[in-house]
Amino acid sequence: MLPILSRYTVTLAMLSVVALLMTACASQPAVQPTTAPPESATTTAQGLSVVATYSILGDLVQQVAGDSVALTVLVGAEGDPHTYQPTPRDSATIGAATLIFENGLEFESWLDDIFVASGSQATRVPVSTGATLLAATKEEHGHDEEEHSEEEHSEEEHGHGEFDPHIWQDPLNAQAMVVVIRDALIAADPDNRATYTANAAAYTTELQALDSFIREQVATLPAERRKLVTNHDTFAYFANRYGFEVIGTALGSSTESTDPSAGAISELVEQIRAAAVPAIFTENTVNPALMETIAREAGVTLAPALFTDALGAPGSSGATYLEMMRFNATTIVSNLAE
């Protein structure tokens, strides 16, 4: 076990270097998307300056706002909101914004500090206020006791709220998020009330169709096969809505700690065998090495990565919220059916 974990750590370290290089590249204006922040004004020729903290929320805001706002997404496609490190550019963006849409529920643990530092006068809009919430799961995926230092304890206790923040995994909660987004846009920009109202209504119809699609997919899977083993605990709302049981996760409610103990991994492998699931699932925002190891030890398939806390890249199967949810549903059902 130890050599495998060490290799995983090395791989992560190498990825960090790659991520740094990519960040360096991304800071070049030449490769910036068209959503670069405006210099100062609260409104521009494109309308309100609006920020969304992560890509899935950004898609929902875009669907409601249409072309009436200048939207900047802080944590983009494939980016992990749990481990995000804000940049000086983000500070400028936040400082110039009129509205900041955030998940809330302590999902964006990095936002408060940069908001204060930026001197922003923006209205912050936690979109989870309208959602039906589930309690956060108790952390049971930590290190072996002897590996715990005081520092690790305090890190693990930091940033985990009372409620599970992954509300978007239930399309009914996405509908509730759209209502919050619509009302905040109307309050900030009443001249475009009719546009925001019509866009929200049209998108809500698509979210209702999404829910029907997922229910039809899941209905083809016998109830006793609706069992999920995933990388981190992001599917509680999906499981609650569609009748799945979350058997276990390699990590806890966040991806901040990526080094479960050998004992915790062995326990998860036993749970996978006891549940007799044919496949387990990793996610688009993380290195799959840990789940590959667990799948190999348990003798099960590692399914194609699900889109969890971020959209996929443009052109991928998860480029929008609707696409990512359809992909997840069909991937889960087809891999558990075998």
> What does the binding site for Zn ion look like in residue numbers (CB under 5 A)?
234, 309
User: At closest approach, how far in Å is the CB of 87 from Zn ion?
Assistant: 21
- Output 98 or 234, the one with its CB closest to Zn ion: 234
Find the shortest distance in angstroms from Cβ 36 to Zn ion: 27
- In the complex with Zn ion, which residue's Cβ is closer, 80 or 90? 80
The letter for the amino acid at 39 is: E
Residue 64: CB minimum distance to Zn ion, A: 23
Q: Which residues contact 208 (CB under 8 A, 6 or more apart)?
A: 171, 175
For the chain, what's the residue count? 338
Nearer Cβ to Zn ion (175/234): 234
Measured CA to CA, the distance from residue 169 to residue 163 in angstroms comes to 14
DSSP 49-109: EEEEEEHHHHHHHHHHHGGGEEEEEEE-TT--GGG----HHHHHHHHH-SEEEE--TTS-T
H helices of the chain, in order, are 2-26, 55-65, 88-96, 111-118, 150-157, 171-188, 193-219, 236-242, 262-275, 289-298, 321-337
Q: Identify which of residues 234 and 258 has a Cβ nearer to Zn ion in the complex.
A: 234
Cβ closer to Zn ion: 122 or 167?
167
Shortest Cβ distance from residue 268 to Zn ion (Å)? 17
Closest separation between CB of residue 73 and Zn ion, Å? 17
